[in-house]
Amino acid sequence: MNSAPWPDPWFLPALVRSGPGRIETLFDATRTWGKRGCLVGGQSAIRSGLAARIQALSPPGIRIEPVVHTGGEPTLTQLDELRATLRSARADWVAAVGGGSVMDLAKAAAGLAPSSLTSADAFDGAAIDVDPLPFLAAPTTAGTGSEATVNAVLIHPGNRRKKSIRDPRWMPRCVILDPHLLRGCPPAVVADSGLDALTQAIEAYASRHATPFSDGIALEAARLLNQHVSTVFHGRGTDADRTGLLQGSFLAGWALSLARLGIVHGIAHPLGSLYGIPHGRICAVCLPLALDLNRGPLGKKYDSLCNLFGDDATTAIRKLLKTFDIHSPLDGIDVSPQLNFIVQETLASGSCQANCKTVTREDVLNLLRQLGALVDSNSTPRTSVSHPP
């Protein structure tokens, strides 16, 4: 663990509203940001009428351009389209009401709309040369924690590489954590997104960059998520449970931005991108395997996790997977043709390099085998990445 008590630098939104009905304060937050706003929502926000209800709250003189994210994890093509929309609407600010994909897409578009950089150049690491449009995030899942981070995860449609674009100025200016926005969240999404958030909390805690400062945030995130996720999954959740989930997700996002992540997020990106597996689902099935791998290096910190769960931590996560009926999506899948790509992308990722145990090629192969994937490490690797069916 890094013993520095106070990370430097760190960022937070200027305003966080948390509680039932707080979405109605959206236009209070944007009051000084300009008269033209863009409201980006997912398809569920449109179907449920949420986007229309928010738009109806807009004060006189404020023009709102509604945009629907067509779904899936966001690509550079979708980013280009949204940047063009923001420019043609001459948007002064952007609000995202949706899950992690909606927030990441809208955050990146708000960040790059005033820039002359191409999205591909930004994806490849070019320095971002301008301030972003003011950005507000209101999550409808709990979640990726995108509302508490300065990065946006995107997919390159040409080579299926998936990675973050980040800039310190991309922190949302305002975040609204309203449990009413979680009411329509299907149980499978509660499970996948809740376990993504829990993975983020635990990986931040297990990171070699963790500090006592980030540990406090990560443990509180894990406590809140573990306390509330099953109740909400089973449809018995109150607004207090849904608020707890949203707060846990926010704190997990903050923790990861302070301490980074680990092997789960390192391998989740290539596997999710290659095999079309939802991010939360692949994180969920990898989490107990990674905890087991990190058990020794974590030492007393592993015991702290056991105290938090009231059980062996790895066993507790396995029980959650069973409760949510989550199984490995790679069971029986032959990943051999893509093996070199998976290993290279995993080991090269910043997340994997933050893992408390130094991760080797053999660790990655073992993890794939434990997921039930067919792994022939002697097969001839393909030199380019193909798209599995």
Rounded to a whole number of angstroms, the minimum distance from the CB of residue 220 to Fe ion is 18
Residue nearer to Fe ion on the CB measure, 22 or 160: 160
Min separation Cβ 144 and Fe ion, Å: 6
In 3D space, the residue among 67, 54, 51, 38 whose CA is nearest the CA of residue 135 turns out to be: 38
Chain positions 53 to 72 lying near Fe ion, rule: CB under 5 A, are none
Q: Smallest distance, Å, CB 98 to Fe ion?
A: 16
**Calpha distance 162→159 (Å, rounded):** 9
Contact (CB, 8 A) for 51 and 39:
yes
Residue type, 378: N
Residue closer to Fe ion by CB (options 337, 350) is 350
How is residue 49 written in tokens?
């009428």
| 238 Cβ contact list (under 8 Å, min separation 6) | none
Q: Sign of the CA dihedral 69, 324, 354, 381?
A: negative
Structure tokens given for 273? 């991108």
Of positions 73, 104, 147, 196, contacts Fe ion by CB under 5 A: 196
For Fe ion, the closer of residues 196 and 220 by Cβ is: 196
Asked if 226 and 198 touch (Cβ cutoff 8 Å), the reply is yes
Q: Which is nearer to Fe ion, 51 or 106 (CB)?
A: 106
Where are the extended beta strands (E) located within the chain? 15-18, 36-41, 63-68, 93-98, 135-139, 151-155, 162-166, 174-177
Task: Walk across the sheet containing 15-18 and list its strands.
Answer: 15-18, 174-177, 135-139, 93-98, 36-41, 63-68
Smallest distance, Å, CB 218 to Fe ion?
Answer: 13
Shortest distance in whole angstroms from residue 100 CB to Fe ion: 8
- Nearest approach in angstroms of CB 117 to Fe ion is 26
Q: Decide whether 73 or 196 has the Cβ nearer to Fe ion.
A: 196
Which is closer to Fe ion, CB of 232 or CB of 286? 286
- The region of 34-42, 110-118, 191-199, 235-243 touching Fe ion under the rule CB under 5 A is 191-199
Among 1-9, 55-63, 196-204, 341-349, the segment contacting Fe ion (CB under 5 A)? 196-204
Cβ nearer to Fe ion, comparing 177 with 267:
267
Q: Which stretch binds Fe ion (CB under 5 A): 128-136, 188-196, 207-215, 319-327?
A: 188-196
Q: Please say which residue, 42 or 134, places its beta carbon nearer to Fe ion.
A: 42
User: Which range, of 15-23, 65-73, 76-84, 189-197, touches Fe ion by CB under 5 A?
Assistant: 189-197
Contacts with 74 (C-beta within 8 Å, 6 or more apart), sequence order: 101, 104, 105, 108, 152, 153, 154, 155
CB of 203 to Fe ion, least distance (A): 8
CA angle in degrees (0–180, nearest 5) for 98-99-105: 80
Q: How many chain residues are in contact with Fe ion, going by CB under 5 A?
A: 1
Residue nearest to Fe ion (CB): 196
Q: CB of residue 279 vs Fe ion: minimum separation in angstroms?
A: 6
- Helices of type H across 299-338: 300-309, 313-323
Closest distance between Fe ion and the C-beta of residue 196, in Å? Answer: 4
Which CB atom, from 67 or from 364, has the smaller least distance to Fe ion?
364
104 binds Fe ion (CB under 5 A): no
Q: Is the peptide bond before 114 cis (omega within 30 degrees of 0)?
A: no
Q: What are phi and psi of 236, to 5 degrees?
A: -105, 10
CA-CA distance, 12 to 305, in Å (whole number)?
26
Which one of the spans 12-20, 120-128, 192-200, 238-246 is the region binding Fe ion (CB under 5 A)?
A: 192-200
> Interface residues with Fe ion (CB under 5 A)?
196
